[in-house]
Structure 1
Amino acid sequence: MSLSDYLAPKQLEVLHSYLNNDFGMMILTGAVRSGKTFIDNLLFIYELRRTARLAKEHGNKHPQYILAGASSDSINKNVIISCMNQFGVEFKLDRHGHYHLFGVDITPVSTATMAGLKGARGFTAYGGYVNEATLGVEPVFQEILQRCSMPGSHIIVDTNPDNPQHWLKVDYIDKEDKKMKKLVYHFTIDDNTHLAPDYVERIKASTPSGMYYDRAIKGLWVTGEGAIYRDFNERKMVVDGAPKELKYYAGVDWGYNHPCSITVFGIDEFGRYYLVDEYTERFKEIDYWTNVAKKLQQKYGYNMPFYCDTATPAYIQHFKNAGINALNGWKQVVPGIEIVASLMKQGRFFVWKNHTQKFMEEVYNYQWDDKAEDKPVKEMDHVMDSMRYALATPIHLEELKKQHQTNSRNNIKAGLKRFGL
């Protein structure tokens, strides 16, 4: 029997990279039942043999390796028992709760809470295997990385997808830094060619559409239940630049203890909107924001309207006194959200990469309040409110203008008819 009979093509690709590439971290992310944990468990066995060999070369009689998971129970079920069943190995358990194989001390670390820091500190490891990484907290993950400081150490990471702004995706999967020596592999359920086709079809047919299907079947990092802007697609909507000829609008959501946010959008001749600038900060006085607005005027035009939250009229007047074209923003929340969401759905909404501060964080965490009908949760909403004022207000005003023109034409026609003309 060859490896191709034992491993699926995607698993063979991962194994080939493990054996032939120089790397520091390997992350396998994707769908359930996609085969990623199986190949990672196999690599874990390879890692233990490799650790034993390196320790012998270094004269280290008690080499340590980290095995991490959300809890001791998940470590045992997902890795230890699975490895014994799949590969016929026998782990020995000592009185400290450590596992032993091939002469390697395998130190379990729980990652779900900060309490896991205690188990990860105080020793140096030849490597680590982190199972279910998204269920852990980042400080424990970072501590594991710091512990694995022996020359040539590896970190193997296994995870299902989560929110696109999860620390694992933002700080590790998406981070572009060659010094990380990182390999990332994405799995879908179709990558596991050893699953029975009728089982795969049944799972696909029974998995709800939307977030559930995208995560479980496609292995995508998408927004969860309750997200307001569910049609926001980072891969399609975050762009490297914006057209030069745009008409600009700004939105302002006032704040002090809570963040104040100013966003600037440009619209092109095809009705496509681009978020080109965003300033979001706390504890800044109105004079600071007036200076920000003046800088934006210089950049995008002195007549650019700033559609403002009407909750603080004195700030709007302060802008006006400084020569800023400050106008009242349209305050209807749900209709305004509907307008913004419609732009996203139509593919008319874009974000200029690296030109925002808090937009990406808020858009994925802006949620409907399940305790209040048709209301967003009043958290992570400052950029979202600013965006709504900037986009929905001029669109709403244009719709009112069209309605007024239509009504005026109808009134003229009715008058002429009354006079028999």
Structure 2
Amino acid sequence: MKTSKNSTFNINLHVNQKKIFLCDKPYKLLVCGRRFGKSHELRTEALVAALSFNQPYDPNFPPTVVIAMPTLKQARQVHWKALKGMLKNAPFVQSINNSELRISFKGNKPDVILRGTNEDDGDGLRGLKIYFAAVDEFQDIKVGIWDNTIFPALSDTPGSKALLCATPKGRSHPLYKFYQKIKDLKEWAYFNFYTKDNPHFPKSQLRIAKSQMPPKSYRQEFQASWEDFDGQLFDQLNDSHFISNIPSDLSFYIGCDWGDTNPAFIVVGLSKDYSKFYIVDSWFNQSQQPITQDEFLDKLAAACTKYKIYKTYLPDDRPAAIKSARILGNKQDISGLKRAVQVSRSQLGVMSSIEIINNLFYQNNLFINSSLTEVKSQFQDYHRASDKDGNLLNKPADCQSDHLIDAARYVIALLYVSIQNKTLKLKS
């Protein structure tokens, strides 16, 4: 597109992204499979909206193009570097402010700014005159922020538009209710694309994913299908996953869940070819009486010594306890504690890690020592929450006995992601 007398901005979209781009409806909802290219589409539309702005410009109440995600950290990681790459050496850019995550253009054009929504319930968007709202991972935006903050700011701005990009999370998720509300409104366009609709995505990766994921999960993640899920979160777990003969040639890791009354840890064995996981041992406080941090760390140290643990995974809600674990490891020369890893719970994600574990059950790559009756019970009973009308929600129910599951999530999900990343590096 032409942005000034002597400069242009090149639009590089694949054929199905262009269908979205060329749609002239003011509001668009894009629900698509992984790696379709929704984030690039969203960035492109945001930049074009800013650069093609040709309305009266009030410097006292300037229009703004907002790229929003659930957290500012996500917005920075996903979009900021890409935006700067798209605008590298562009003569129409006036300034790029890294501290404010703001891009300003020459002439009377709206600034492009990045925002997170969930940390402050959308308050950071209040007072803005939003000309274009580009909302990524819309399914994870807190309910009410669109209706109460973003949409009113758009309604107050002539010619305003929005693109919302999302991945479906089941028919019980608020996103599905939002889709049902807008799908027949004349101001809205709805787009639904599969991952395979991206001509640049390798089809071999789809075949691998289809062979490794439960059918419902595959349809949801790669075909953007609105699926119904039952209440059991580990619905691929069955009796064949409880075994008594644990292989002897494993490397061992520990995942921990803090707590004054119910702290817990899980010992996980990993096969030499990094393909199979075994929950071989566990401990959690069954006394219903609080125990001290030192008492728990002593239990952890004993398990590290017994299994020659290579690395311990500790959640980030108690940084002082992590430091104490490392100090104890150095003092007693316990390698597993010296290598203690701090797990970012927000980055890991509850449902994402649950999905990894459920997929491992589906692949028959995760097994549980049949003698661990409490572990077995927690995994079999773990279920979704429901709303006041009895509809299942895409999150675990509260007040479950799940400390051993949390401990398992921290170690298994992070090990799995690390293995996948190393495999990708080797292949590239």
TM-score with structure 2 setting the length: 0.47
Q: Bigger radius of gyration, 1 or 2?
A: 1
Q: What is the TM-score normalised by the length of structure 1?
A: 0.48
